[in-house]
Amino acid sequence: MPLLEVSDLRIRLQTHHGAADAVRGIDFTLQRGETLGLVGESGCGKSLTALALMGLLPEAAQASGSILLDGQELLGLDDAALCRLRGNRIGMVFQEPMTALNPVHPIGDQVAEPLRLHRGMDRAAARREALALLDRVGIADAARRLDAYPHQFSGGQRQRITIAMALACGPDLLIADEPTTALDVTVQQQILNLINDLVAERAMALILISHDLGVISQNADRMLVMYGGSVVESGPTQAVFSTMAHPYTRGLFAARPQLAPRRPGERTRLSTIAGTVPELADLPAGCPFAGRCGFTVAACHTTPPPPVQLGTLGAGHMARCIRLDAMPATPEDSA
Amino acid sequence: MNSTTTTDLIADSAYPISATGQFDSNPPTDSPPPLLQVTQLARHYPLPRTQLFQPPQQVKALQGVDFTVAAGHSLGIVGESGSGKSTLARLVMALDTPTAGAVHLLGRNLHRLPAAELRHARRDFQMVFQDPYGSLDPHHPVERIVTEPLQAQGATSRAEQREQAAQALAQVGLRSTDLGKYPHEFSGGQRQRIAIARALITRPRLIVADEPVSALDVSVQAQVLNLMLDLQQQFGITYLLISHDLAVVNHLCGEVLVLYQGRIVERGTPQELFHHAQHPYTRALVNAVPRIEPGRARARRTLMAGKAPRPMV
């Protein structure tokens, strides 16, 4: 049995433009020790999916479908039951460590809090455990800094502290939503390596959310490319990057500025995806990418494209596009 | 401060003094004078006083920074947070006063200009900020936002301003019907276009762009970078591009400075830095750019598996 099984997850939000289907039928499974990458631009529904897993959706949101954690249905659980799961079996690392930490409490108390709450540890035991955790995530001289406040740490150190908090109760599932977006690039690599090492060490499952294809390619075993609330392409990271079947995946890849060599004085334009990310409230009836895609035909606008299996059977590589035949066999920019 | 003036003079004395004893702002060179010349620029900020009888300590945010940018070229500044990138931008924009050193734009020392002249000179250098949500006033229509630099310069008629605003919007790919709309009606990429239109409206020679695309989605980022390239080709604009992203800098700039703890530690073309970085920080920066590299994590994890796991307390 997979650790996590999400099927036909749909989330409807109430906005001031009326109801908006922000997530439109997502399916995936996740095994222990595996890393799943979610990649997409703002408004594609990747963060909402993570919030649904944590039971942290806004009040007015309606979720349907099914989220099974070890066979237990999470959708529709009451608050008390969710509280027992959050921070205990599911840990989360957020984008902005300064807002995730409470500025008026010492970090030692904050890391110890889930231990006291879920494990019923006494103050002294929780403090010892917090010290061990902070030491593991690489806070130098942790014993002396247990009583320091968040503002006394750098951004990278703060993110290490939130990772220690998320890990405190030894969760089965760790969700990291853009964990390095607010950090310097040089620190980004260290934090991702730390998360990876911890995932391997404790056989956790990791859901890594990022807008950066590079981060996903380096860290995920399997990936979902999301656009307009649906998964447009999914599969093993290796397969997705070697084929890049969906036009949106290709567009996203080609639009990245790169450190590739170029002749002095030469100016190359980046290839762009025309138009902008659609508003959730007025997503088209058919393929969400139809308005921006170079391969669109009339049928794209009318019905949502069904999933098409790619590569060898059982590899699990899928793209939702009815124009796959019209696409050039290899992504032109991957050379 | 006395010390400021002294150091300032020392810095300025690097320029030749003409026979008449007057300060010569255009030193004779083979090539035309650079558009922007920054000499021995330094900015120190005092920390809060911790001991009553000792002078307060100082943070040296910027020390001895020297560079020139020729007209129509672009210079990239990279560095981590706290390296002094934004302090440098504020000094070049004459929004802050240097502790020592000088900024010459078109031969004029910006920090020595009288207030009225500086205000007039500001038409030649404009700024684009990182966050298009924070840098546009949500209460004002686009027309007022875009024409504000003209109003600060004074003396043009309302109709003329409106026409120039429509023109600036057209240059960044927006419509003149957008003039009456408010910022919340636009997406992030469109807002950044409005911010660029506001910078363009005075026909500046230099645009200082502080992380202009880091708040934007990847597909929109490419559109804005292309727009900046097009505007440079069309109007010969010079960019001072501040970014933490070496790939973005590589796309737009012919030369890069690497700032580290307030000093320039390395300079060169992006390609030189990419292939032969000398300073350890530059090397770390180049290596940190995430590349498309499927399976790296799994390889790392296989490596890890060989190590004994740390005992948990």
Please give the Cα distance from A296 to B153 (Å, whole number). Answer: 48
Does B208 score more than 90 pLDDT? yes
pLDDT of residue A227: 93
pLDDT mean by block of 10 residues, chain A; 335 residues: 94 84 92 93 87 90 94 91 92 90 95 93 95 92 93 91 93 93 83 91 93 91 93 94 92 84 66 78 85 90 91 83 84 46
Identify all chain B residues contacting A185, using CB atoms and an 8 Å cutoff.
80, 244-246, 285, 288-289
pLDDT: which is higher, B302 or B228:
B228
Residue in B78, B216, B292 to test binding to A, most A beta-carbons within 10 Å: B292
Between CA B164 and CA B158 the distance in angstroms is: 10
Residue B274 has a CB neighbour count (10 Å cut-off) of: 19
Q: Is B220 on the interface with A (CB under 8 A)?
A: yes
Judged by CB atoms closer than 8 Å, whether chains meet at B254 and A265 is answered as yes
pTM confidence score: 0.82
A166-177 pLDDT, tens digit each: 999 999 999 999
Collapsed DSSP state (helix, strand, coil) of residue A106: coil
Q: Which of B81, B217, B290 sits opposite A214 (nearest CB)?
A: B290
The verdict on a CB contact (< 8 Å) between A184 and B81 is yes
Residues of chain A in contact with residue B217, where contact means CB-CB under 8 angstroms, are 41-42, 211, 277
Distances (CA, A) of B281 to A310, B53, B308: 43, 38, 31
Q: What is the pLDDT of residues B131-156, one digit of tens each?
A: 888 899 999 999 999 999 998 888 78
Answer whether B222 sits within 8 Å of A258, measured CB to CB.
no
CA angle at residue B94 from B92 to B100, to 5 degrees? 75
**Nearest-by-Cβ selection for B291 from A42, A214, A257:** A214
Q: Could you identify the residue written with the tokens 């860290």?
A: A219
What is the model's pLDDT at position A333? Answer: 45
Q: Which residues contact B1 (CB under 8 A, 6 or more apart)?
A: none
Give tens-digit pLDDT for A81-107: 999 999 899 999 988 888 899 999 999
Find the closest chain B residue to A129 by CA distance. Answer: B313
| SS3 of chain B: helix, strand, coil, percent, to 5 | 40, 20, 40
DSSP assignment, residue B22? -
* Confidence band, pLDDT 50/70/90 cuts, at residue B300: low
> How much is the pLDDT for A5?
96
- Check residue A330 and give its pLDDT: 65
Q: Which residue has the tokens 């594609």?
A: A44
Q: In whole angstroms, how large is the CA radius of gyration of chain A?
A: 21
Residues 66-125 of B with CB under 8 A from A: 80-81
Residues B297, A219: C-beta atoms closer than 8 Å: yes
| CB of A182 closer than 8 Å to CB of B131 | no
CB A11, CB A45: distance < 8 Å: yes
Q: What is the DSSP letter of B310?
A: P
**Bridge partner list, A86:** A90
Which residues in chain B have Cβ-Cβ distances shorter than 8 Å to A251? 219
3-state helix, strand, coil in chain A (%, to 5): 35, 25, 40
The residue among B116 and A283 whose pLDDT is bigger is B116
What are the CA-CA distances from residue A295 to residues A225, A291, A292, B275 (Å)?
18, 10, 9, 38
Strand partners, B259: B264
> Are β-strands A230-236 and A317-320 bridged in parallel, bridged antiparallel, or unpaired?
antiparallel
d(C-alpha A216, C-alpha B53), whole Å: 54
Whether B20 shows a pLDDT value over 60: the answer reads no
For residue A224 the two structure tokens come to 């979902």
DSSP state of B17: B
C-alpha pair distances (Å), B137 with each of A97, B103, B122, B131, B147: 27, 29, 20, 12, 13
* Arithmetic mean of pLDDT, B34-54: 89
A264 and B247 in contact by Cβ < 8 A?
no
**The predicted structure's pLDDT at residue A268:** 74
Nearest chain A alpha carbon to B217: A41
- Report CB contact under 8 Å: A271, B221: no
Interface with chain A: mutation pick from B81, B217, B272, B287, highest number of A CBs within 10 Å: B217
Chain B residues close to A256, C-beta within 8 Å? 218, 222, 247
Nearest-CA distance B161 → chain A (Å): 29
Across chain B, mean pLDDT equals: 83
Q: What is the pLDDT of residue B30?
A: 53
CB-CB neighbours of A92 under 10 Å:
23
Contact A252 B218 (CB under 8 A): yes
What is the reported pLDDT for B50?
Answer: 81
Between vectors from CA B289 to CA A228 and to CA A142, what angle results, nearest 5°?
A: 100
CA distance A132 to chain B (A): 7
Q: Write down the pLDDT at residue B51.
A: 82
The predicted structure's pLDDT at residue A332: 52
CA distance A140 to chain B (A): 17
Q: Indicate the pairing of strand B238-243 with strand B74-78.
A: parallel
B245 touches chain A (CB under 8 A): yes
Q: How confident is the model at residue B110 (pLDDT cuts 50, 70, 90)?
A: very high
Cα A315–Cα A318–Cα A321 angle in degrees, nearest 5: 155
Question: CA-to-CA distance for A202 and A168, rounded, in angstroms?
Answer: 12
Q: Given a cut of 50, is residue B308 above it in pLDDT?
A: no
CB contact under 8 A, A218 and B297: yes
DSSP, residue by residue, B186-231? S-HHHHHHHHHHHHHTT--SEEEEESTTTTS-HHHHHHHHHHHHHH
* Strand arrangement, sheet containing B125-128: B125-128, B206-210, B238-243, B74-78, B255-260, B263-268
- Specify the pLDDT at position B58: 85
Residue of A159, A272, A293 best to disrupt the B interface, most CBs of B under 10 A: A272
Gap between the Cα atoms of B168 and B300, Å rounded: 51
Nearest chain B residue (CA) to A271: B222
Mutation for A interface: B80, B218, B242, B281, most A CBs within 10 A? B218
Q: What is the pLDDT of residue A247?
A: 94
